[in-house]
């Protein structure tokens, strides 16, 4: 979900307004994905690197996150959406953790779209945490299957992605799902996240469908 800050700067408003607009776009894209039958949607909401941002911006982001989850709980249940997170949320404040855990619990029996937010998430951090978890179990020689099973995504039972969409014109992975993206397709667009509409998503999916893949598919 890249480009919220740049969207705000381009419009001459504070960056926090871009994040608020981005949260509104999350609702629209999530409901659309549920409607068209996409099974899993994972959004990179806050990375391990984002802690370097100004404290006021981080505080504002956490307030937006809490408000979003509180407001969307009824929508999640009405649309049979199951909510989950990946990342080390232990670093988040307790009040944020409480809202996250309540949303996870209250949507746990839903069987439709799985919406996952990556919060305090970094691909390298995930791999380190997975390896350390295996080390604590006294597993001396780790194979691919064991490491995959120890990842955040495996714990919430979502598979590797078929398609990763990067908004805002950046053309890099940025520490997102480093292990899981080994065989996925990438789609890069200059569209900033607040302007990424369901139509833009349709274009990304259409482009993806034209590619010849040996594995998977939407």
Q: Which of 50, 77, 88, 175 is catalytic?
A: 50
77 noted as active-site residue = no
125 noted as active-site residue = no
Burial pattern 26-55, b for ≥16 Cβ within 10 A else e, equals beebbbbbbeeebebbbbbbbbbebeeeee
Catalytic site residues? 2, 50
């Amino acid at each position: 979900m890249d480009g919220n800050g740049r969207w705000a700067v381009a419009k001459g408003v504070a960056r926090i307004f871009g994040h608020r607009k981005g949260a509104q776009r999350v609702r629209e894209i999530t409901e659309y994905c549920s409607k068209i039958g996409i099974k899993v949607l994972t959004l990179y909401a806050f990375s391990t690197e984002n802690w370097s941002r100004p404290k006021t911006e981080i505080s504002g982001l956490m307030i937006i996150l809490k408000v979003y989850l509180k407001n969307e709980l009824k929508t999640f249940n009405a649309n049979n959406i199951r909510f989950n997170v990946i990342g080390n949320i232990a670093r988040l404040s307790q009040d944020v953790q409480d809202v996250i855990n309540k949303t996870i619990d209250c949507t746990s029996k839903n069987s439709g779209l799985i919406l996952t937010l990556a919060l305090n998430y970094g691909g390298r951090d995930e791999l380190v945490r997975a390896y350390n978890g295996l080390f604590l179990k006294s597993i001396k020689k780790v194979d691919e299957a064991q490491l995959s099973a120890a990842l955040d995504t495996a714990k919430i039972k979502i598979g590797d992605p078929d398609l990763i969409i990067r908004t805002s014109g950046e053309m890099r992975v940025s520490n997102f799902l480093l292990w899981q993206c080994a065989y996925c397709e990438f789609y890069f667009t200059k569209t900033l996240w607040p302007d990424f509409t369901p139509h833009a998503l349709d274009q990304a999916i259409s482009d993806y469908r034209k590619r010849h893949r040996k594995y998977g598919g939407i």
